[in-house]
Structure 1
């Protein structure tokens, strides 16, 4: 399930001497496959985060920051397996102990947060792999040995749909291309009081496949409250659709209209997607729908239904 852009970039780095095998739908399955391969062939396994040398290498990110900005008030660090975070924390402790640290994980993969709550390593039963660069079910052993002293509240959780809105804002306003994991730290600034403070948010990746852009836009609109999906019960008679169109406001746009069931004698079920300019327009639209006698169910936040039909 790795985005094609990342696969192509890895192949490019290999200079024609790398064989890529796509194994497993989640990081942890891929990790087990890689470890098994090294045992079978005698190859050298390079861990992505749970390794002293890897942690030390990623710690140089903090060295570079503190060389240019010796004493920031706050470091905001994205977390997947914990290599970058555990390395940076050790450098900050040594060179800038007054600097506060906050970590950010995707809401669908809070392996550090759950471990901090339990006081021990936890393997998540399921992970949302939308934020593919940070979708890890279990924080690394060495990494948690460093990060385990923090409180659960120090590990912030970023909703996947909100991350999408941050990615679009960074692209459209700042001209910066971020992958979902790369946007974690910037997205978390929405939840932090940063006024008057010197804050460094670590932007950790720009390997974004633009084929994913329609999905990112869709999720961003839903988080902003500017897009909703309904199951509309529409009477099976001439003029019913025209009556429904009359209740739409000037800024309401139908983005999807699909009959789910048209076999009933009196009514049919319609999947309806509507985009608008501001969140408040939906309250007015639903009031007009109710006054006109229409029946509907808002399925926008129903993850089970939307994953099946949208």
Structure 2
């Protein structure tokens, strides 16, 4: 069972192993917002804390059998690095769709990687099968008191770095991170609220709390792969029910916007899971006006190709990239006149497609689709209004 002493002991064990990550104000992201930058942790995510604490707890006999874990990427890297440092063999089962950067980093830290078709939960089943077959010692990514204690050291650091914190906003996948943080904070500063955030497409803990028991989702789908968990742990469910004040959800476009904002404003890279607390605050799912609010940016291990798509989605959500389709008369100068109207609004054309033979076109008209760089949502509305007033229908 988890105790505050276990978390405090984990903090001592992690000195010189895990970084004491910065906690900085982020006023451009919103009122009273602070960022706890676990994306700057060694391995690029908070998971090293719990992974190392778990590996350190193994008996000599358990260590001799080798350790196995299942992970979408961050726990994998934490276990791989921790096991290699302590001279223990590690095998990691990862979803086949995990970001390539996380897979390669896990291998680089010294682990044997087994790619499993499906999502995290499928990788977990394969890890359980291999454990029975080969006798490995299983290191669960969240439903383990030593792992939770390691993650709880973040809660201790937050209270040390910002004693007058009013609330802490934390991503939730399986629940290990928020369980540890909430346990530490509620035992040392009960008045501080702890709020969990899940992606709408993977809200297993939120639904479990509402139904009063751990439930398993039929499927999960989110760009926040680090929290794409179908079912929370039994232990983490109990801890969340007791110590977490509220759980909110965020949409995919909101997560993308938060990733973009963190890059532009805070000059830091966050993966989807890590950006969810910022998304919750940016889009008013969490009220930050009452006091100092810490967003735990849990990781920054985002694949470059994924990041490119996320940035595009974030720009669209912020009204800085828009696709507009309209009709122009099929006559000399028709397209030029449209482009002049667009230019006069101050928008920049990224791509344009001019189709004479399209299902939506009339005889004597062409369909034009443009992707425009714009300033904000108000600018987009201005462009649409200007086009409509000039008899360019918006399709």
Q: Say yes or no: TM over 0.5.
A: yes
2:387 counterpart of 1:293 = no
Change (3 A) 1:137 1:259: farther
CA distance in 2, matches of 1:234, 1:44: 67
Correspondence for 2:221:
128
Correspondence for 2:382:
284
Correspondence list, 1:33-112, <5 A: 33-70=126-163, 72-112=165-205
CA distance in 2, matches of 1:255, 1:91: 50
Correspondence list, 1:186-205, <5 A: 186-190=278-282, 191=284, 192-195=286-289, 197-205=291-299
2:108 counterpart of 1:12 = yes
2:272 counterpart of 1:176 = no
SS at match of 2:310: helix
Kept in 1, the 8 Å contact 2:183–2:243? The answer is no
CA distance in 2, matches of 1:108, 1:235: 43
- Cα offset, 1:290, TM superposition: 2.4
Of 310, 313, 318, the residue aligned with 1:219 is 313
SS at match of 1:90: helix
Change (3 A) 1:238 1:108: farther
Correspondence for 1:301:
none
CA distance in 1, matches of 2:355, 2:233: 46
- Cα offset, 1:217, TM superposition: 1.9
Larger CA deviation: 65-74 vs 130-139: 65-74
Correspondence for 2:347:
252
Change (3 A) 1:146 1:203: same
SS at match of 1:197: coil
Correspondence for 1:274:
372
CA RMSD, aligned part only? 2.6
- Cα offset, 1:268, TM superposition: 4.8
Kept in 1, the 8 Å contact 2:260–2:315? The answer is no
> TM-score, normalized by length of structure 2?
0.66
> TM-score, normalized by length of structure 1?
0.83
- Cα offset, 1:84, TM superposition: 0.8
- Cα offset, 1:276, TM superposition: 0.9
Kept in 2, the 8 Å contact 1:261–1:268? The answer is yes
2:335 counterpart of 1:241 = yes
Correspondence for 1:166:
258
- Cα offset, 1:261, TM superposition: 7.7
SS at match of 2:340: helix
Aligned pairs, number: 293
Cα deviations by residue, 1:248-271 (Å, 9 ceiling, x for unpaired):
143212223235782567255444
CA distance in 1, matches of 2:246, 2:122: 28
2:94 counterpart of 1:2 = no
Which consecutive residues of structure 1, in runs of 5 or more, have no partner in the other structure? Answer: 298-310
SS at match of 2:201: coil
Change (3 A) 1:256 1:121: farther
Which consecutive residues of structure 2, in runs of 5 or more, have no partner in the other structure? Answer: 1-96
Larger CA deviation: 175-184 vs 187-196: 187-196
Of 246, 249, 269, the residue aligned with 1:154 is 246
